[in-house]
Amino acid sequence: MAITRSSKLQQLVALFLGVLFFCADAIAADVEFSLAPRETWIGSPSTLKIVVRGGNDIGDPILPQVAGLDIEVQPGRQTMNSMQIVNGNVTRNNTTTIAVMITPSVVGVFTIPPITIVVDGVQYSSKPTSISSAVSTTGDLLTAQVIGNPKKVWVGQSLDVTLRILVKPFQSPEHKVTLGEADMWQFINPERSEFGPFSKKFRELAQSNQRPIGQEELVDGHAYLVYEVSTQIIPSTSGVPDFSDIRIAWNYPARLSSTRDFFGRNELSVSATKPISTTASAVDIDVLPLPTAGQPASFQGAVGSFGLSASAKPVRVAVGDPITLTLTVTDLSGTQHLDTVQPPQLEIPAIQSDFRMPTAPLAGSVQGNTKTFTQTLRPTHAGIEQIPPIEFSWFDTTTGSYRSAKTQPIALSVVASEHIATDAILGGSSQAMTPPKQLTAAEGGLTANVAPTFEMVQDQSRGIGMAIGIVMLVIPPLACAAILFVQRRRDRLSGDTAFAREQGARSAASRRLASGDAAAAIVGYIADRINQPSGTVTRVEAHDSLVDANAPSDLLERVDRLLAQCERSRFAAAHSADLSQESVSEAKACIQGLEKLDWRKARSVHEGKRS
């Protein structure tokens, strides 16, 4: 009996251990590795997906280094949680997907060693695998060109330009199918594309869930789908404009495959693509240089047709009091970009001899077809009777010659500043009228008509009287200096728009971040710092401005990566709230770094380019 009972006990123990082993195996994480495609092109990544089912503590993939391959983890993990209730039993499942991008930089066949990940303390590894890469040639599949209207313009003249993207529609002889314009546009690669001066238009289209509409055209006997986007530019140099910064990238379809849907019907889908790209070139655009003959000294680069008016207030002031001078430039043609119009010259002898004014450059405000500049003038002496005429010159594109306009003199009345006598500061008028007490002559000198006391001869240097005297002497100058500083800062903020924008750059960026727009916060901050109109700073201009401001390489890379990520999210069909919040947090950190840069140098470089 003892043997029988012992045998049954061993069987029960073995069964219990088996159940424990089965349960432990049932709750263990399931990790799956999949790589596609195996054949790719230089610069086009293959994706290794790591799918983890049921894991709680999921580490980062451990990546090998392979010559000729760039292996990196794509930012952001995709997590899906599900819950199932069967007969009152609740089962929760979670699935996490991690993407590893493997991008070849040279032609060849590459062996990828195992990629390892640790889940709940257990190590999982992929099997060694291989991919091949080849050179992708664009050929005549894709081209881009920029056309202008009119074809000939002057330097500084507004020019309507249209970007034309021409792509051959993909044809599958096997399935006898040609992709239409809507299908082909889905394969543009916004992450690798740069749209130059057309970037704002593409952002607006993406934000409104729109796209350019393609039209079929015959070019040299071949059918192309043509997508067009238009904008305005102002050429700053003569000759043929350079649009090489515009780069169009396309994941061109290479193969279609047929699958069965739920109802058993055939469905076609693109099973392989290849990357192609092209840069844009100008077609029949000629920018003419402005003539040097007859150019007025007051010419500041304005091109078009303009009017000028001026006003000032107050007109009755004392020496040193501020006068706000307002200059209004009106675009009479209604076709020019007033953002680039420079203010009339105020550094002329007739003004400098009678007035003091800030040295900071004026930044006007644009409203409709007018641009308004304000400057603070302070008269330096009494008797000034007027603000002299101010001249503004421009190049008239209709006549091909220079023209000028002058404001009317503004009458002033400047009187001398009032001065307060010293005795009025030290005492009241009643005391000043009181005659001094008479002194009585004495043999040893003069003695006041009061009885001498011990306090008269006592040492008062450590007494409270000296402290009060020092305070009374120090407080008035400090108070005057504080009032003068506040007054000057208020005048500068009201009369110097560029200074006001620079001082409020951080606050404006915070407001944009509050609305969740990380890219607008970054480029808006840079625009405020370099005094460029809001909404006009592109990703390339932002990078150049950071270089001018002596930004370190890590901050340059961080900002560029963030702006690229925001561009990708705008072109994507949808993006998660977590990704948006992550971008806002990253933008806050980037702006903290931007606060430490030399923006005065960057603004000077930008103004030099603009002039």
* pLDDT at residue 469 tops 70: no
Residue 537: pLDDT band (50, 70, 90) is: confident
Residue 124: pLDDT band (50, 70, 90) is: very high
Same domain, 183 and 218: yes
Locate tokens 């002559």: which residue?
A: 441
* pLDDT at residue 467 tops 50: yes
* pLDDT at residue 27 tops 70: no
Residue 231: pLDDT band (50, 70, 90) is: very high
**Angle between helix 518-530 and helix 505-514 axes, rounded to 10 deg:** 170
Read off the pLDDT of residues 159-212 as tens digits, 9 standing for 90 and up.
999 999 999 999 988 888 899 999 999 999 998 899 999 999 999 999 999 999
Which of 384, 311, 389, 306 lies closest to 346, judged by CA?
Answer: 389
Same domain, 189 and 116: no
Identify the pLDDT of residue 275: 87
Give domain status of residue 494, yes or no: no
Burial environment of residue 480 by CB neighbours within 10 A (0 to 12, 13 to 18, 19 or more): exposed
* pLDDT at residue 21 tops 50: no
Range of the domain at 62: 24-134
* Average pLDDT in the chain: 82
Can you give 48-96 as a three-state secondary structure string? Answer: EEEEEECCCCECCCECCCCCCEEEEECCCCEEEEEEEEECCEEEEEEEE
Read off the pLDDT of residues 48-69 as tens digits, 9 standing for 90 and up.
999 999 888 999 999 999 999 9
Give domain status of residue 342, yes or no: yes
Read off the pLDDT of residues 310-342 as tens digits, 9 standing for 90 and up.
999 999 999 989 999 999 999 988 766 788 889
What's the rounded mean pLDDT across residues 225-242? Answer: 93
Point out the domain boundary residue: 230, 260, 288. Answer: 288
Give domain status of residue 422, yes or no: no
For position 330, which CATH number holds?
2.60.40
* pLDDT at residue 279 tops 60: yes
State how many domains the chain has: 4
Give domain status of residue 19, yes or no: no
Rg (CA), the chain: 38
Identify the pLDDT of residue 160: 93
Read off the pLDDT of residues 555-586 as tens digits, 9 standing for 90 and up.
988 898 888 787 666 644 444 555 578 888 88
Give domain status of residue 110, yes or no: yes
Give domain status of residue 579, yes or no: yes
Locate tokens 């933008």: which residue?
A: 587
Residue 448: pLDDT band (50, 70, 90) is: very low
Give domain status of residue 466, yes or no: no
CA dist., res. 130 & res. 104, Å (int): 12
Same domain, 126 and 232: no
Residue 109: pLDDT band (50, 70, 90) is: very high
Residue 20: pLDDT band (50, 70, 90) is: very low
Burial environment of residue 166 by CB neighbours within 10 A (0 to 12, 13 to 18, 19 or more): buried
Residue 451: pLDDT band (50, 70, 90) is: low
Point out the domain boundary residue: 235, 257, 288. Answer: 288
Same domain, 51 and 124: yes
Residue 1: pLDDT band (50, 70, 90) is: very low
DSSP3 helix / strand / coil % (the chain, rounded to 5): 30, 35, 35
Same domain, 62 and 164: no
Same domain, 49 and 77: yes
Read off the pLDDT of residues 126-135 as tens digits, 9 standing for 90 and up.
999 999 998 8
Identify the pLDDT of residue 378: 93
Same domain, 189 and 75: no
Which of 85, 77, 82 lies closest to 94, judged by CA?
Answer: 82
Global confidence as pTM:
0.52
What's the rounded mean pLDDT across residues 349-355? Answer: 91
